[in-house]
Amino acid sequence: MSVTVPPLRSDQRQRADRLDGARRLVGADLERVNVLILERLQSEVSLIPELARHLIASGGKRVRPMLTLLAAKLCDYEGEAQIALATAVEFIHTATLLHDDVVDESDLRRGTSTANTIWGNKSPVLVGDFLFSRAFQLMVATDRMRVLEILANASAILAEGEVAQLVTANDLSTTEDAYLRVIEAKTASLFKAACEVGAVIADRPAVEERGLADYGTHIGIAFQLVDDALDYAASQAELGKTVGDDFREGKITLPVLLAYNAGSSEERAFWERTMERLDQSEVDLSQAQAYLSRHQGVEQTIERACQHGARAKAALDVFPSSPVRDALLDLVDFCIERAY
């Protein structure tokens, strides 16, 4: 089977240029978000700012809060609420990372030891709860019920997605549609909300709100598809976490589903042993990568990401051409080009 992936610039410097272009447009606001993050991390309980800063300072690109700032700018918003909302979005995201690393028993996050590796499991879970609380304080302070509704719903859907992923773990009967529903919930829901609130605070018409919501949904799905592909295709230095974590955890992602469904009886028996029963040896990850290569599981996953990236770009057609719109289009390519 031949899989054609649209040509994308893969040079690391060029990928950074895409992100830098967006940062330049909202640089002042992003700096204010960083200041507010530090302010809202303050607590008399010293472990809270210590642990939260560990993750926040470990190299995150702030893509989600940047989307909120860009969406507000695209909609010509001239108020101040975008700072609080972008900060709330980052806190929700950071809280989920703390919880995810505990659930997944991860050792590395963005190339740095995870909080649970340093402090154990209890503290990261509780500090994650603290960050969720801070996020809701920031939402309420905007005094916009529609904004609170969007971000509260996204938080609930995100949590449901994480639980659904636990349910589908080690289950190779999972369908591609079920997998996509999981990643739409656990990843794309926050991307969607981060974009959508930019239109809401600017009181833009429903068609623009839907356009930004659709953009957020599809860039979020593309982002997660690339992450799932990279778990089998990247180096540890590129990925910022241990390569093959999904495999070792028996996490059912699209590359595995594609290889399993296309595989021989011998290959399917391999996946059932390693992913469903978690009966794994040291050489099994290399064998898994070989089967993925044989059936182009990674390439097909990236192709799906490109398709969702195209849908994200098309969703912005409701807005006139502008430097901000161009930056949002570039962010789609940035998210996908991480795979190259």
Structure confidence at residue 47 (pLDDT): 79
Tell me, yes or no, whether 1 lies in a domain. Answer: no
Query: What are the Cα distances from residue 65, in Å, to 62, 96, 190?
Result: 6, 15, 10
Instruction: Take residue 340 and report the two structure tokens written for it.
Output: 């190259």
Crossing angle of helices 206-233 and 176-183, rounded to 10°: 110
What is d(CA 308, CA 228) in angstroms, rounded to the nearest whole number? 15
Report how far apart, in Å, the C-alpha atoms of 282 and of each of 219, 274, 292 are. Answer: 35, 11, 17
How many whole angstroms separate alpha carbon 82 and alpha carbon 65? 9
* 90 contacts 62 by C-beta, under 8 angstroms: yes
Neighbours of 87 (CB within 10 A): 24
The DSSP code for 109 is E
Tally of structural domains, the chain: 1
Q: With respect to residue 140, please indicate whether it lies within any of the assigned structural domains.
A: yes
- Whether residue 4 is contained in a domain is answered as no
The region that residue 236 occupies, defined by phi over 0 for left and psi between -120 and 50 for alpha, beta otherwise, is alpha
Is 31 a member of any domain? yes
Tokens linked to 257: 């589903």
Looking at residue 2, its pLDDT comes to: 40
Burial of 281 per CB tally in 10 Å (0-12, 13-18, 19+): exposed
Tokens (6 digits) for 329: 């289009």
Of the candidates 149, 164, 162, 163, the one whose C-alpha atom is nearest the C-alpha of residue 213 is 149
- Residue 177 makes CB contacts below 8 A (sequence gap 6+) with none
Q: Which helix (H) or strand (E) holds 108?
A: strand 108-109
Token pair recorded at residue 164: 């659904």
Range of the domain at 37: 12-337
For residue 250, give the nearest of 176, 163, 165 by alpha carbon: 165
2: in domain: no
pLDDT at residue 62 in the model: 87
Residue pair 97/141 in contact by the 8 Å Cβ criterion = no
Query: What pLDDT does 233 receive?
Result: 84
SS3 76: coil
Asked if the structure places residue 6 within a domain, the reply is no
User: What is the Cα–Cα distance from 160 to 117, expressed in whole angstroms?
Assistant: 25
pLDDT digits (tens, 9 = 90+) for 196-207: 999 999 999 999
CA 163, distance to chain mean position in Å, is 16
Q: Answer whether residue 218 is part of any domain.
A: yes
Q: For residue 22, give both structure tokens.
A: 């967006």
Residue 199 belongs to a domain: yes
Whole-model pTM?
Answer: 0.89
**Model confidence pLDDT, tens digit, residues 35-52:** 898 889 888 887 777 776
Q: Residue for token digits 């040079």?
A: 11
**Facing residues of 112 across strands?**
109
- Parts of the chain with a pLDDT under 50: 1-10, 109-110, 237, 239
Output the domain CATH number for residue 287. 1.10.600.10
Residue 207: half-sphere exposure toward Cβ, Cα within 13 Å: 4
Integer-rounded Cα Rg, in Å, for the chain is 20
